[in-house]
Amino acid sequence: MFFMMGINERRKELNFHQMIVCSHCGAYGQYRVFMTYMVLTLFFIPCFKWRRQYFVETSCCHTIYSLDSEIGRRIERGENVEIRPEHLQGMARAGARIKRCSQCGFTTEEDFEYCPKCGSRL
């Protein structure tokens, strides 16, 4: 007797869209919610899921935020939820490194050594 099993990380898009004005780029867009998780498969059948994490991606500039897990579970169950800024943590953008000026708070993704607003070193 032999067993075919595997452990994989998967991504699942959740059915949720919320119109926003992006706090990062200032454009109109939508929040899209997705979940990542680890899954144990036995004979290609998913048997056990763990380490669920919920994320929000903006449609305008593709900034990714980590979403509060309770709000993520409610969205996964299909509840009508509004995502507020306090539900989001951290941010990243594919291929970009965000720099923030310690003097004036200006944020940029450009490769500046000095802040274009106040002139202090980034």
Q: Say how many residues make up the chain.
A: 122
Contact 99, 106 (CB under 8 A): no
Look at 23-27, 60-64, 100-104, 116-120 and tell me which has the smallest mean pLDDT: 100-104
Secondary-structure breakdown of the chain: helix, strand, coil percentages, each rounded to the nearest 5: 10, 50, 40
Structure tokens at 37: 């998780």
Spatial distance between the Cα atoms of 26 and 9, rounded to a whole number of angstroms:
33
In DSSP terms, 44 is beta-bridged to none
Spatial distance between the Cα atoms of 8 and 51, rounded to a whole number of angstroms:
11
pLDDT at 105 over 80: no
At 93 the pLDDT is 52
Mean pLDDT on 19-42: 90
Answer whether 0.75 is exceeded by the pTM: no
Which residue carries 């869209």 as its tokens?
Answer: 17
Mean pLDDT on 46-63: 89
